[in-house]
Structure formats: structure tokens, C-alpha cells
């Protein structure tokens, strides 16, 4: 009888506890758009496709292709998971010899990536493919 009462109490508490949605896993392909601003230029719209691959439990490799009205940008980088749904790291654009910092936050099924270097900055909002 005690087991039944304990089980009922556990089930009751589980049903009244607020459900908290875990952010989607970073690994995989994400698509979206945003803006970037290169030094002394007006902001430009860009569209990105970013692929993340897990290297260790908390480290992810990124490969991105972003397109503006005037150019295509291939970006590589590495991110470290610092909190659930929060990643920070570095990126590199070899064709322009640009490196900088990147931050990714996943909220539900939406990812916001912000990036900054000495020559450009911007942000992109993405969803998982």
C-alpha cells in the first residue's frame, strides 16, 4: 500500500511540475538569415547554412556558407558548450583572412548566432533543417 501511495505522490508531483523544454541539439544543419556589417559599409542582409559536428562532449566544429547580394562567405570554426543551449568560440573566413568570436544561443527550436571580428560583425537567426 505504501508503494502505491508513494507512486501516486510521485506521479502527482510530476504532473504539476512545470515542463521545461530542452533546446534542440546543436549538431546538424541549420538555415536562416540575418545581417552583417563590414567596416565602414552599410549593413547587408545575408542568408546562411551552417553545419555543426560534435568533436567531443562539449566541443563542436562549424562549417558555414553565408551569401550576401554581392558575395559568398565560407566560414569555419569551433564552439564550446558553456551552458545548456549556449556555445561560444572562434570563427575564421580564410578568403578574407578574418577571424573573430562567435556566440550561439538556442532557445527552443531557434538558434541565434552572433559574430564579431575587427573587420565585421553581425547576427543570424536560424532553424534546424
Q: Identify the bridge partners of residue 61 per DSSP, sorted by sequence position.
A: 53, 78
pLDDT band, residue 111 (cuts 50/70/90): very high
pLDDT of residue 36: 96
pLDDT at 40: 87
Q: Note the pLDDT tens digit of each residue in 66-78.
A: 999 999 999 999 9
pLDDT of 21? 52
Higher pLDDT, 96 or 92: 92
Q: What is the pLDDT of residue 16?
A: 38
Give DSSP secondary structure letters for 14-29.
Answer: HHHSPP-PPPPPS-EE
Q: Which CATH class is domain 21-128?
A: mainly beta
CB 4 within 8 A of CB 26: no
Q: Where are the domains of the chain?
A: 21-128
C-alpha closest to that of 48 among 96, 104, 101: 104
Amino acid at each position: 500500500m505504501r508503494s502505491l501511495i508513494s507512486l501516486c505522490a510521485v506521479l502527482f508531483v510530476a504532473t504539476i511540475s512545470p515542463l521545461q523544454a530542452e533546446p534542440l541539439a546543436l549538431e546538424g544543419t541549420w538555415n536562416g538569415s540575418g545581417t552583417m556589417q563590414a567596416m565602414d559599409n552599410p549593413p547587408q542582409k545575408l542568408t546562411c547554412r551552417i553545419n555543426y559536428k560534435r568533436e567531443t562532449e562539449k566541443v563542436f566544429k562549424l562549417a558555414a556558407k553565408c551569401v550576401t547580394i554581392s558575395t559568398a562567405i565560407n566560414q569555419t570554426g569551433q564552439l564550446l558548450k558553456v551552458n545548456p543551449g549556449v556555445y561560444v568560440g572562434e570563427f575564421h573566413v580564410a578568403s578574407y583572412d578574418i577571424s573573430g568570436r562567435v556566440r550561439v544561443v538556442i532557445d527552443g527550436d531557434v538558434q541565434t548566432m552572433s559574430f564579431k571580428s575587427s573587420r565585421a560583425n553581425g547576427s543570424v537567426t536560424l532553424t534546424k533543417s
